[in-house]
């Protein structure tokens, strides 16, 4: 009896605190087109691929997330300050989860394929 109550309570707690699972969609032609569109509209104003601009170089930015890819999606949905001694906070209107997933997929693809002709400068 008590075992069951404890188990139910435990499962309830787990469901309350379960972090939302975020996946990076696999690269596709649609993701490339859509990712580039979002980038030109939302990111290019401040970022260049291989050098610092208003913000740090995008290639390096993405490299920081290579072993924790979902964190890039979370960051773009809710930018928090990272390097206060060097940069102001990133003034980006938070992306929707879908846009953040699409652009993350494209950016990780570009990191592996830097010669793609559509890679932003």
Residues that bind ligand HEC (CB under 6 A): 42-43, 45-47, 54-56, 61, 64, 75-76, 81-83, 87-92, 95, 103
The CA angle 102-78-83, to the nearest 5 degrees, is 110
Report in angstroms how near the CB of residue 88 gets to ligand HEC at its nearest: 5
Question: CB-side exposure of 30: number of CA atoms within 13 Å?
Answer: 5
Report in angstroms how near the CB of residue 114 gets to ligand HEC at its nearest: 16
Nearer to ligand HEC, 23 or 54 (CB): 54
Tokens 């206060």, residue?
Answer: 84
Report in angstroms how near the CB of residue 116 gets to ligand HEC at its nearest: 16
Nearer to ligand HEC, 27 or 46 (CB): 46
What the block records as the tokens of 66 is: 């290579």
| Other beta carbons within 10 Å of 58 | 24
State the Cα–Cα distance between residues 93 and 82, nearest whole angstrom. Answer: 16
Nearer to ligand HEC, 6 or 66 (CB): 66
Report in angstroms how near the CB of residue 113 gets to ligand HEC at its nearest: 17
Is residue 20 within 8 Å of residue 94, measured between CB atoms? no
């Amino acid at each position: 009896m008590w075992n069951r109550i404890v188990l139910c309570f435990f499962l309830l707690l787990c469901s309350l605190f379960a972090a939302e699972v975020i996946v990076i969609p696999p690269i596709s032609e649609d993701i490339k087109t859509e990712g580039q569109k979002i980038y030109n509209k939302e990111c290019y104003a401040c970022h260049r691929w291989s050098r610092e601009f208003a913000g740090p170089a995008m290639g390096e930015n993405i490299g920081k997330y290579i072993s924790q890819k979902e964190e890039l999606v979370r960051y773009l949905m809710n930018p928090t300050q990272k390097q206060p001694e060097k940069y102001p906070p990133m003034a980006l209107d938070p992306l929707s989860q879908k846009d953040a997933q699409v652009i993350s997929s494209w950016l990780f693809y570009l990191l592996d394929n830097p010669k793609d002709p559509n890679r932003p400068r």
